[in-house]
Chain A
């Protein structure tokens, strides 16, 4: 652990900010290939040129293309193998900050908050700020685990920053974003690594297996009492014990399910780390940055305010009810989600705004939601842009709540526009 850290002349062997396009692209390609941002500027530029030339930014090729390039240029796999885990454990410390070894490592490094004001640690500070910023803006933190030192040290600093903001929503959002990052990485880890991380970090006895039970292949199993405790946080019926394969006290799980459980634990763990910090007063050098972050939050709130005013006043009852359930974090049936998404996209909300709305859902899966929103918007490879379901279709699916306020009996969109016109005139 910490191989080569002490020997290095600078505490950061990887002290470089990513090129600007890296950040510019972020909203549309959140699966940023780790490692490409450093050391290989030539290859990076090459990749960027190819992607731009082919116009692939929007086609979700971000992940596969660099991997393809990587495999052509460099025979070493992009993802660490088990041997890499043995030789370079620090990458795991950078990826999973809730590992006890990561904490131990940070403690041993003995860096204090005031040390971080020095120029030497500037990259750490920058990364910490970017972590918080990305979490607030996009609900996702990118992975830069190859820059191990920066990554390891910036996490506690980011937690410190979030603690200083003293805002529960931000804390929650930050914890969710970091957990999301971890879960994406975990999905790509070998099962044995996931098993090890679950045990080391949370004491969870998740057993990796390649097990065929009947006609089904499972990746993990977990003791049923642990499973019940954790699965109670998921509202979907598929998480009920009665809908799981339970054999000799073990619940059999797919990798995605196991990672969802770990994501939940990671979020709780990070949130606890934030809450346990107690009252902290930020040192002078952080105050400006904190002000910037706070400013960003207010700007974002204003943006959200626009959406809220925009939609709420004129929404027809059916859409308003779905919207309300969504805002309250209730898990929605698929057709309700489709109705809301297609409606909002058709009345002019951007895909990002819709995605942001859906991030409130308890079973929010950013990758999946993004794909579905893109699909409905007719840009995710699909040709058709979906229109919002008609009143008649909504009746069939028992989502119609017709009242006297409905200004059209054919489509909720008509009602919306007519209502918006009326309200606008009233205000004028």
Chain B
């Protein structure tokens, strides 16, 4: 993603500098800073500077002021010599990191809000992206837009993940650091000396646990009794995946008659199974309200219940980016730094604040004044704090400073008004 004009780059860089020059009480100095690798992008260059080693908070501070990074990352891993080449770094351990990215979520709105934009004439359209602008033949760029619905979905996934971490893996909230990614997701860092030494295989097992990959419901108490042939299943209050399966099935039963879920069910269940459940859903919801009654309604076959339980597993699983967690050498965005694609802060979130966190409020840390006059090529409607903006198409608008930074970083608006 690039800026439309040189003036935009200078504007964004100036804004970033003004943030980094302020006393940096908000920047989170990473633990064991001397053992981590750092990497960053500066404005106007598309190459990452990496394999950097910083001794202390002071050298990190001067990097911010001297280089004004557009993006800055550090390694979740700890190395003996972080600045050496990859093979010689000497891996000691790595934080357990989870990334929830709205890009990976099966949300329907994605096709609606991601669009292509011609930076020359402001022509735009939904995906698929054409090779050149149909109107003026110049190069077009894909824009991933931030959407409230996507971010809400991502937050739900985050809550599910935290449930897994706390109740199943037994990781205390003091070892967990959460932050908004500054764009379309959330990051979770678990820093526990005991877990830091886990290898890729162990991390993969954890990923499989939270995503339900390879889960067989028969190992979680859902099976046909050998004697009577009846279906036996787990209870709501059981720990681990057992309870999740029971509660997940109850949720699904409740949604059976909801028309907004019709497409979801017909996609994931065979028409016969769906019909059998739909026909008896009122009875089932009633039966299941106090405790799970597996195998209720004789017309519904045990296989149907198992299919529904498997669907519940997929629903209860936390949808994380599996690659990030299993990669033990990964660079990840530094907490409380600015995201170059949005100008939003990758804000650290308190463990109890997740549910009330608003990504369009707290991370928008630039002031409203002075207001900025700019030309917007195209942008859909969006919200900053309480106020809605847009949709705009090839028009000159006067917006608060923080909104201007956002639109300039997104590459949809320009200060070069000509």
Question: A residues touching B (Cβ–Cβ < 8 Å)?
Answer: 213-216, 224-225, 228-229, 231-232, 237-238, 240-250
Measured in the bound complex, the distance between the Cα atoms of B235 and A215 in whole Å is: 8
Q: A241 touching B208 by the CB < 8 A rule?
A: yes
B237 at interface, CB cutoff 8 A: yes
Closest approach, in angstroms, between the C-beta of B310 and any C-beta of chain A?
13
Instruction: Tally A-B pairs: CB < 8 A.
Output: 82
Q: B205 touching A228 by the CB < 8 A rule?
A: yes
Known contacts A224-B169, A240-B208; decide if A246 and B240 are in contact (CB<8 Å): yes
Contact pattern, B 203-232, Cβ under 8 Å of A = 1, otherwise 0: 001101100111110011100000000000
Known contacts A213-B238, A241-B206; decide if A248 and B214 are in contact (CB<8 Å): no
Measured in the bound complex, the distance between the Cα atoms of B5 and A284 in whole Å is: 90
Question: B residues touching A (Cβ–Cβ < 8 Å)?
Answer: 167-171, 194-195, 198, 201-202, 205-206, 208-209, 212-216, 219-221, 234-235, 237-243
Q: B202 touching A242 by the CB < 8 A rule?
A: no
Chain B neighbourhood of A237, CB < 8 A: 214, 216, 219
Chain A neighbourhood of B167, CB < 8 A: 247-248
Partner of B208, one of A242, A245, A247, A250: A242
Measured in the bound complex, the distance between the Cα atoms of B194 and A224 in whole Å is: 11
Partner of A238, one of B219, B237, B242: B219
Measured in the bound complex, the distance between the Cα atoms of B214 and A237 in whole Å is: 8
Chain B neighbourhood of A225, CB < 8 A: 194-195, 198, 202
Measured in the bound complex, the distance between the Cα atoms of B239 and A216 in whole Å is: 11
Chain A neighbourhood of B214, CB < 8 A: 237, 240, 242-243
Chain A neighbourhood of B213, CB < 8 A: 242
Chain A neighbourhood of B238, CB < 8 A: 213-215
Measured in the bound complex, the distance between the Cα atoms of B171 and A245 in whole Å is: 16
User: Which residue of chain A has its CB nearest to the CB of B313?
Assistant: A242
List 7 A-B residue pairs with CB atoms under 8 Å apart, sorted by A's residue number: A228-B198, A237-B214, A245-B240, A247-B168, A247-B239, A249-B168, A249-B170
* Majority SS at the chain A contact face: mixed
- Having A240-B214, A243-B219, one finds 12 other A-B pairs with CB under 8 Å, namely A214-B242, A215-B221, A224-B170, A238-B216, A240-B208, A242-B215, A244-B240, A245-B240, A245-B242, A246-B169, A246-B240, A248-B167
Closest approach, in angstroms, between the C-beta of A234 and any C-beta of chain B?
12
Closest approach, in angstroms, between the C-beta of B295 and any C-beta of chain A?
15
Chain B neighbourhood of A245, CB < 8 A: 220, 239-242
Q: A214 touching B170 by the CB < 8 A rule?
A: no
Measured in the bound complex, the distance between the Cα atoms of B368 and A25 in whole Å is: 91
Measured in the bound complex, the distance between the Cα atoms of B212 and A228 in whole Å is: 16
Measured in the bound complex, the distance between the Cα atoms of B237 and A247 in whole Å is: 12
Known contacts A241-B208, A246-B209; decide if A214 and B169 are in contact (CB<8 Å): no
Chain A neighbourhood of B209, CB < 8 A: 241-242, 246
Measured in the bound complex, the distance between the Cα atoms of B240 and A240 in whole Å is: 14
Measured in the bound complex, the distance between the Cα atoms of B216 and A242 in whole Å is: 8
Chain A neighbourhood of B243, CB < 8 A: 214
Closest approach, in angstroms, between the C-beta of A355 and any C-beta of chain B?
27
Closest approach, in angstroms, between the C-beta of B203 and any C-beta of chain A?
9
Chain A neighbourhood of B206, CB < 8 A: 228, 241
Chain B neighbourhood of A242, CB < 8 A: 205, 208-209, 212-215, 241
Q: B215 touching A243 by the CB < 8 A rule?
A: yes
Q: B202 touching A229 by the CB < 8 A rule?
A: yes
Partner of A214, one of B202, B212, B235: B235
Chain A neighbourhood of B221, CB < 8 A: 214-216
Chain B neighbourhood of A228, CB < 8 A: 198, 201-202, 205-206
Chain A neighbourhood of B242, CB < 8 A: 214, 245
Measured in the bound complex, the distance between the Cα atoms of B167 and A245 in whole Å is: 12
Chain A neighbourhood of B212, CB < 8 A: 242
Measured in the bound complex, the distance between the Cα atoms of B234 and A213 in whole Å is: 11
Chain A neighbourhood of B202, CB < 8 A: 225, 228-229, 232
